[in-house]
Amino acid sequence: MKPKRTSIKKEIGHLIIFTAVFALIFTSVSGIFSMYAIREESAESLTNQLRETVDGLVEGKASLADSRLGLYSNYVITLSEIISDMYQNPENYVPKEVLPPDAKMENILSMQRYFTSEEVKREDVLDELCLFGNLEGIWKPIINDHSSVITNIYLANDKLMICCDANANLAELAPDGESYYDYRNMDWYKIGMSAEKKTATFLKSYLDSYGRGLMTSCCAPIYNNDECVGVISMDILTTDLNNSIIDVSLGEGSYAFLVDADGDIIASPYMKRNSDEFINIISAKLVGPDLAEEMLSGKRGVERTDDEIFYAYAPIESTGWEMVISIPESLILQPIKQMNDRIRITIIMFIVIFVIVGTVVLLLGSRLAKRFTEPIIALEKDVEVISGGNLQHKAQVRANNELGDLAHCVNSMAVSLDNYINDLTRITAEKERIGAELDVATHIQSSMLPCIFPAFPDRKEFDVYASMTPAKEVGGDFYDFFMVDDSHVAFVVADVSGKGVPAALFMVIGKTLIKDHTAPGAKLENVFAEVNNILCESNSENMFITAFECVLDLVTGELRFINAGHETPFIYRKGGKFEEYPVKACFVLAGMEDMVYKGGSCMLEPGDKLFQYTDGVTEATNADNELYGMERLNKILGKVGDKTPNEILPEVKADIDAFVKDAPQFDDITMLCLEFKEKMEK
């Protein structure tokens, strides 16, 4: 059923009224919501101010902790690199053996050694003990300079541990005077051994066994070249550092705390100095699971929870911990409650304005629609006349606005269409004529090239097969083969620069000249020299020809050849495979007058073959702009060497087509294959 037709006047009138009413509704609703948004924005403004303040504070606190703890992680990485150098360059260090624990050294900072078990003997690790003794002069100054933070430094491998500590009595002395301590299942050793090179890792906080407060360990792997051979670790006292960081006051109910990578609070104003009863933020439901995940992923932000608490958090990069500040929402939103009465009054004002403006729009909409549509209706009638085929008709709208411009464009379009139809008729006829002529040229060119195979059915001494696939209707490549005399046969493969009709015409000239000058007994050097000079005389288009010609003596098997800038041929020896035959390339034909050409020769035995081609073969390009290339040509020729010429060329062409696929052909593809089958009897 055909829909009911409505006039453009009514549609524009409805559009104006609808647009105006919609705009009023949208504006009014937006205004009402804006009032509510004012309250939210005020809260948001206050919240954002607090967010910025607390975000900067928590970031500053995190940066402070990171800079301090980063110093110790740098110590560990540097010590790891020093020990790696000891492994790699032991000759640079004076032997200084690390001794077992000595009761006389209690409470005195010293280096001590421990073996993992009684199976490890001093003699087994003496080289390392004497090497690591050089670390004492490095470790002691570090511990002394940071005595309130660094309690000890130690390195370990699968056999021994070297420790620098005033309290490191980790085991009783054995009868043999040595001390044993198997630490290989400790977290610091396993994590350190599995860490990446030059990477320091902070472990979970724990309570110091000597009652000094919270501790953490920072460990890094030791590498000997690319092999991890041990771990360097440092114990760091963090209680005083944590207390200085969490000292925050933003109002009643606000406080700061530190969270480790497992979600345990390791420092807060509510923790006792020597407490190891950590509160987990997830299990204690201090924050929601989503916020906890954000915190533990090492991100930075400020978020509000369902219990009306704001949490600002920032990562301490060097440890994987998170600095958190908690602030009650009640500190922020109290001023917002006073705005509710003012919002109600503003809403009433919007309703009154909506009623007044809506009435005015309804009264004026009809008049505006009529004023806008009358010129459009007139232009519609003019377009109907022009579209009916009267291209001489002119639109009569004279409005000085976009409609007047549209009428002018319609008149110009009618004139352009009239001219275009006339030109299209003429161009179509010309294109059909050129197409017909190119089709004739294609057939003429094809007929000029030998295309009947076998080409010499009465000659049993040789066989030849050739093909030429032009990139356009006509091409610039050509091949030829002909009997010079009863015992000599000539073969030519050439490529004219350029494509299309000019190249095809130049090809005809070149092919004819080469054949005419290849007389019995003529030297190929003289043939190319004469043809070159003739081509240069009338070469106003500066075209040139790369050409390869050879003459086979059917009695002796001698193959004389000459190459004018053409591709390297392939020769197949019976029982072998096709291989590139190095032929010196002379200058191209038609490039410069009086050029001297030098040829060469080789012997063919019965069963040998010659394969020649143009650059359209190796430069065939696929959709990824990759060239077919010599490597692929070598590969396919290696597979078909034992076949006949009329079998070889189709397989090479099929391999090229499989490589190129649907990509357009940019150059002519020409190939020729000669097989010397038997010698001619004299």
Q: What is the pLDDT of residues 336-361, one digit of tens each?
A: 656 666 777 777 776 777 777 767 77
169 or 321, which is more confident?
A: 321
pLDDT for 228? 94
Among positive and negative, which fits the CA dihedral 383, 385, 386, 387?
positive
Rg (CA), the chain: 47
- Of the pLDDT bands very low, low, confident and very high (cuts 50, 70, 90), residue 240 is low
Same domain assignment for residues 31 and 62: yes
124 inside domain: no
Q: What is the pLDDT of residue 462?
A: 96
Establish if 135 belongs to a structural domain.
Answer: no
3 state SS of 444: helix
Question: What is the pLDDT at residue 273?
Answer: 52
Instruction: Note if the pTM is more than 0.85.
Output: no
Res 646: pLDDT: 95
Q: To the nearest whole number, what is the mean pLDDT of the chain? A: 83
Residue range 100-144, pLDDT digits in tens: 887 777 778 889 999 999 899 999 999 999 999 999 999 999 989
Same domain, 429 and 470: no
DSSP states along 117-138: STTS-GGGSHHHHHHHGGGHHH
How many residues does the structure list for the chain? Answer: 682
| Average pLDDT value for residue range 245-254 | 72
CB 312 within 8 A of CB 55: yes
Q: Is the bond into 289 cis (omega within 30 degrees of 0)?
A: no
pLDDT recorded at residue 301? 87
512 plus 432 within the same structural domain: no
| Pair (467, 581) in one structural domain | yes
Would you state the pLDDT for residue 101? 84
Q: Sign of the C-alpha dihedral, residues 416, 422, 423, 427?
A: positive
Judgement on whether residues 213 and 225 belong to the same structural domain of the protein: yes
Asked whether residue 335 carries a pLDDT value surpassing 60, the answer given is no
Burial call 48-63: b when 16+ CB within 10 Å, e when fewer = eebbeebbebbbebbe
Distance (Å, whole) CA 518 – CA 512:
10
Per-residue pLDDT, averaged over 392-418, amounts to 74
264 inside domain: yes
The whole-number pLDDT of residue 321 equals 84
pLDDT confidence tier of residue 80, bands split at 50, 70 and 90 = very high
Residue 407 in tokens: 């009428």
User: Would 121 be classed as within a structural domain?
Assistant: no
Beta-carbon contacts of residue 85 (< 8 Å; ≥ 6 apart): 92
Checking if the pLDDT of 222 tops 80, the result is yes
Residue 205 lies inside a defined structural domain of this protein: yes
Longest dimension (CA), the chain: 125
Q: Encoding tokens for residue 450?
A: 């030998």
User: Is residue 316 scored above 80 in pLDDT?
Assistant: yes
Residue 290 pLDDT class (50, 70, 90 cuts): confident
Sign of the torsion angle spanned by Cα atoms 259, 264, 270, 273: negative
What domain range is 516 assigned to? 449-676
Tokens for 319, please give them: 């440890």
pLDDT band at 456 (very low <50, low <70, confident <90, very high): very high
The answer to whether residues 339 and 365 belong to one domain is yes
How many Cα atoms sit within 13 Å of 179 on the Cβ side? 20
Which of 89, 112, 93 lies closest to 101 in space, CA to CA? 112
Q: Is 312 within 8 Å of 58 (Cβ atoms)? A: yes
* The pLDDT of residue 168 is above 90: no
Q: List, in order, residues 6 or more apart from 307 with CB less than 8 Å away.
A: none
| Burial class for 579, CB neighbours closer than 10 Å (0-12, 13-18, 19+) | middle
- Considering the domain architecture, whether residues 481 and 624 belong to the same structural domain is answered as yes
Domain boundary residue among 358, 378, 398?
A: 378
Decide if 283 is inside a domain.
yes
Q: How confident is the model at residue 442 (pLDDT cuts 50, 70, 90)?
A: low
pLDDT on residue 569:
96
Of 349, 378, 407, the residue at which a domain comes to its end is: 378
- Whether 613 and 490 map to the same domain: the answer is yes
- How high is the pLDDT of residue 594? 93
Q: What are the backbone angles phi and psi of residue 111, rounded to the nearest 5°? A: -95, 135
Question: Dihedral through CA 655, CA 656, CA 662, CA 665, nearest 10?
Answer: -160
**Long-range pairs, 194-200, Cβ under 8 A, ≥24:** 194/221, 195/219, 195/220, 195/221, 196/221, 197/221, 197/223, 197/228, 198/77, 198/80, 198/81, 199/77, 200/73, 200/74, 200/76, 200/77, 200/318
Q: What is the pLDDT of residue 365?
A: 65
> Which residues, including other chains, have CB under 8 Å from residue 315's CB and lie 6 or more apart?
62, 298, 299, 300, 321, 322, 323
146 located within any domain: no
- Contact between 268 and 257 under an 8 Å Cβ cutoff? The reply is yes
**Residue 11 above 70 pLDDT?**
no
Q: pLDDT for 28-78, tens place per residue?
A: 667 666 666 666 666 667 667 767 777 888 888 888 888 888 888 899 999
More confident residue, 632 or 429: 632
- 564-616 pLDDT, tens per residue? 999 999 999 998 999 999 999 999 999 999 999 999 999 999 999 999 999 99
| pLDDT over 70, % of the chain | 81
Say if residue 414 is in the same domain as residue 351. Answer: no
**CATH number for position 642:** 3.60.40.10
Give the pLDDT band (50/70/90) at residue 370.
low
CB neighbours of 574 closer than 8 A, spacing ≥ 6?
605, 606, 607, 608
Question: What SS3 class is residue 358?
Answer: helix
Model pLDDT for residues 531-555, shown as the tens digit of each residue? 999 999 878 888 999 999 999 999 9
pLDDT attached to residue 272 = 60
Instruction: Report d(CA 239, CA 314) in Å as an integer.
Output: 19
Residues 250, 297 within the same domain: yes
Looking at the structure, tell me whether residues 218 and 313 fall in a common domain. Answer: yes
Structurally, how many domains does the chain consist of? Answer: 3
The answer to whether residues 281 and 195 belong to one domain is yes
Q: Write down the pLDDT at residue 214.
A: 78
Cβ atoms of 571 and 637 within 8 Å: the answer is no
Q: How far apart are CA 290 and CA 285, in angstroms?
A: 11
Residue 50 phi/psi, 5° resolution?
-70, -40
Tokens of 460: 């049993």
Identify the pLDDT of residue 563: 96
Higher pLDDT, 437 or 471: 471
H-helix or E-strand containing 676? Answer: strand 669-676
Task: Tell me, yes or no, whether 428 lies in a domain.
Answer: yes
